[in-house]
Each structure stands twice: as C-alpha cells, then as structure tokens.
Amino acid sequence: MRFINRLAITSAAIILAAMSADAGVVFEVETTYHSGSTGVDVSEMSVEKPNLKMEIASGSRASKGQQDTAIFRGDRREMVVINHEEQYYMVMDAETMNQVMGDAAVQIDQAMKEVNKHLEGLDPAQRAMVEELMKGNGQGLGGMGISQTHTSPKRVKSDYRNTGETAVKNGYPCVKYEVLRGGQIVRELWVTDWDNVKGSGDIRDTFKEMADFWEEMMESTSQLPGGGFMSGDRNDIDIFTHISGFPIVTRDFQDGELESETVLKSVSERTLDPDDFEPPSGYKRRTMMPQ
C-alpha cells in the first residue's frame, strides 16, 4: 500500500511537471563579426510555438552572459525586449504602440508650435530657407525628424534570389540564396531543406506570426515623421516565405564588405519552462518613450 501511495505521488509530480514545462527546440548559433567590434558571439534561440526567445548581442557586451534578450509572445501578440545589464524590460504591443503614437503626436505638435513661433520673427527669406531645410530630409530639431510635410520615406524592398549554387555547410547540404536591396547584395544565405533540421517547422510558423506582428507595429508608426522608428521591410523578418528551407549560414554585407557571419552550430529538443518566456523576476518595466 505504501508503495502504491509513493507511486501515485511520483506520478502526480511528473504530471504537474509536464504541465508546467513544455518540450521546445533550442538553436545554438555562432556569429563572427568582421567589422566594428570584431569577435565571436555564441547565442541561443528557443522556440515553443507560438513563442520565441532570442539572445541578442549588444555592442561591447556581445559576449555570453552580457546579451540582451528579445521574447516574442505569439500567444499574447507582444514583443518583450530585456536589458540584463540595467535589469529592465520594455513591452511592445498594440496598446503600448497606441500610447506611444499619442505621446509622439503631442510632442510633435508642441515642437511645431515652438518652431512656428520662432519662424514668425524671421524675415520672409530666412523663413523660406528654414522651412525648406525642415522639409528637406526631416532631420531637423535635434534629430526628432519633424517636418511640416510629415512624409514617410518609401521602404526599400529586399529581393531574394536562388543562385542554384550548392555546398555542404556545417554538415548540411545547402543551396545559396542572395538578398539584394537596391540592386546590391546585402545578405547571403546557405539554406538546407526543412526536413534536415529538427524543429524547423516550429520556427518557420513562429517567424510567420512574428512577421505579421511587426507589420502591424510598422504600420501603426508609419505616419510619424521619418516613417516611424520601426520603419523597415517585412521581407527582412519573414524570410521563410522567400527561401525553401532553413538557413545554416547567414553572411551580412555592408557596402560590399563582409560584416558578419552566423552559423547554426546545434539543434536540441529541451524542456522549456513557461518562465523562460517571461522577464526575470525583479526587473523593472520601462516605457518606450524617452522620459
């Protein structure tokens, strides 16, 4: 009878553990930087569909244990960015972005009133010159990007091209893709078939969710001067709609020079605790707008 009781208790503990922790997939990647702060960074990306956690190298702190973290919560439609050095996090979601847009609109309106007040004291020639500068590149007023036209720049589209070139990269048979922007190669991808990488289907679906999320965020800020602080190209996020497989090697270029190379080193199934996709206890939440 005592044995049966112990068995029941043990079974219950196993069930509870299974309920509080899910099986996920962890991708370990190694990035070698060839420009700026050169060096090698090893980081992990954890996926438990529809959620994803990425370690992000951040400037001089680009070493293990000194990285920031980005968590996409597909179940809550939010992105959490965590700064471990200063122990704070920020949350991006529809409600937050609406608040940010409201705050930004107020700041822009106040700034424009101040500008117009100063313009009233200028002679016609000076006033015309200042107004022309303001609408020229939208970078006036201390970089706030305030212009009277409030015109958003056109996004530069990224084009993906399958070169047909094949090679074995880190043990995976791959085909080479090139990513072009404005006719210039900005990225090179060595891609293997989905079936060759464990858990690749989960990451494909999760990145699709994340791309949809970023599209919403970019659209919500697109009317800000300068196109908003989240302007960009969806193609850079939702890469899996443009390649037939999973990238084993990613090489980024800047002005024709190799900037960095990222290689998939390992893939493992691992039990992930739900807390893995939450900010650490004790960290403070910050708003996105400067104080």
Of 78, 111, 143, the residue that ends a domain is: 143
Single-letter residue type at 52: L
Same domain, 164 and 266: yes
Same domain for 212 and 225 = yes
What is the per-residue pLDDT across 72-125, written as a single tens digit (0 to 9) for each? 999 999 999 999 999 999 998 888 777 777 666 666 666 666 666 656 666 666
38 domain-assigned: yes
- Helices of type H across 165-276: 200-221
If we measure between CA atoms, which residue out of 212, 216, 218, 252 comes closest to residue 232?
218
Per-residue pLDDT tens for 164-214?
Answer: 999 999 999 999 999 999 899 999 999 999 999 988 888 888 888 888 888
- The half-sphere exposure of 44 on its side-chain side, counting CA atoms within 13 A, is 15
Claim to verify: residue 88 and residue 129 sit in the same structural domain: no
Q: What residues make up the domain containing 178?
A: 21-95+153-285
- Do 248 and 174 touch, CB atoms closer than 8 A? yes
Residues 62 and 199 in one domain: yes
18-37 pLDDT tens trace: 333 457 999 999 999 998 77
∠ CA 245-167-160 to the nearest 5 degrees?
45
Q: How far, in Å, CA of 58 to CA of 80, rounded?
A: 16
User: In this structure, are 105 and 234 located in the same domain?
Assistant: no
- Spatial distance between the Cα atoms of 114 and 10, rounded to a whole number of angstroms: 70
Is the same domain home to 33 and 170? Answer: yes
What phi and psi, each to the nearest 5 degrees, are found at residue 14? -65, -40
The structural domain count of the chain equals 2
When computed from its CA atoms, the radius of gyration of the chain, rounded to whole angstroms, is 24
Q: 105 and 242 share a domain? A: no
In a domain, 257, yes or no: yes
CATH of the domain at 60: 2.50.20.10
